Amino acid sequence: MKLYTRTAGTGLPLVLLHAFPLSSAMWLAQRGGLAAGCQVVTPDLRGFGGSRLGDDEPSLDAMADDVAELLDTFGLEKAVVGGLSMGGYVTMALARRHPSRLAGVILANTKAAPDTPEAAANRETVARRLLDGGDLLDTVPNLLGATSLERRAMVVGRVRGLVGAAPAQAAAWAQRAMAARPDSFDTLRGLTVPALVIAGDEDQIIPTAEVEAMTKAIPDARLVVIGNAGHLSAIETPETFNRAVTSFLTDLS
Ligand code: MLT
């Protein structure tokens, strides 16, 4: 599947994969802040933003294969690939299916464990509600940290806009794809490239223990926990997020 993609800058290729149920629009501050040092490539994962959903069964593997195809389109043999939350799940699927395409990995506000049966069942409920005309705006308070909810009105408004724009079909498809994802700890143990793990100290969705377990599993990983950041750290605290990425990329090259 060909993905609609926004890019900025030149140099070391850095592909950033967005969270659910957002789009490449969430990486605005990364395209702006990181383009001086690298080629920032931010696709809309299938079904979101400008990318078509297609007819495949829900699967993060399909999303990962799309990203491998995107690298081909851009003539990139390898790239640093980073993802936030669902984007992190896709990054881990890419590491499983196309490990030779990775020059480094960034896993932000994500986890390696699969869904519990209860969480998977809940995703199916959400998927059906979406296909029945429901929306996801009630999830916005969970996506953000307390600091953003109390003091960053612009961020809250922006995230509401991004979540409100998510197409129901794609959001339902992605919920089912995430419910079916496997345990990724073995994939992380087998990573042969350096990794940056990013967490938010106010993340209500990814517990710190998950992030620490992930960091421990990766042979060459560094962990950065961002203060006053919730689940959408790249949007909530973009300067700190970008500093962590820049320092990682500098050490890589
Ligand atoms: C995301 O932010 O991508 C989602 O919260 C991930 C999930 O539902 O597990």
Could you tell me the mean pLDDT of each successive run of 10 residues in the chain, 253 residues long?
97 98 98 96 98 98 98 98 98 98 98 98 98 95 98 98 97 98 98 98 96 98 98 98 98 91
Write the CATH number for 42: 3.40.50.1820
Domain that residue 200 falls in: 5-252
Average pLDDT of the chain, as a whole number: 97
- Pocket lining: 19 vs ligand 1, CB cutoff 6 Å: yes
- Integer Cα distance of 51 and 45 in angstroms: 7
User: Ligand 1 pocket test: which of 20, 89, 107 has the largest number of ligand atoms within 8 Å of its C-beta?
Assistant: 20
- Pocket lining: 127 vs ligand 1, CB cutoff 6 Å: no
Counting the structural domains of the chain, the total is 1
Cα(2) to centroid(ligand 1), Å: 23
Contact 219, 189 (CB under 8 A): yes
30-49 tens-digit pLDDT: 999 999 999 999 999 999 99
Cα(253) to centroid(ligand 1), Å: 31
What confidence score (pLDDT) does residue 14 get? 98
What confidence score (pLDDT) does residue 19 get? 98
What confidence score (pLDDT) does residue 253 get? 84
What confidence score (pLDDT) does residue 219 get? 98
Contact 151, 229 (CB under 8 A): no
What confidence score (pLDDT) does residue 22 get? 98
Which residue, chain included where needed, has tokens 């809309």?
44
What are the b/e assignments for 195-215, b being 16+ CB within 10 Å? bbbbbbebbebbeeebbeebb
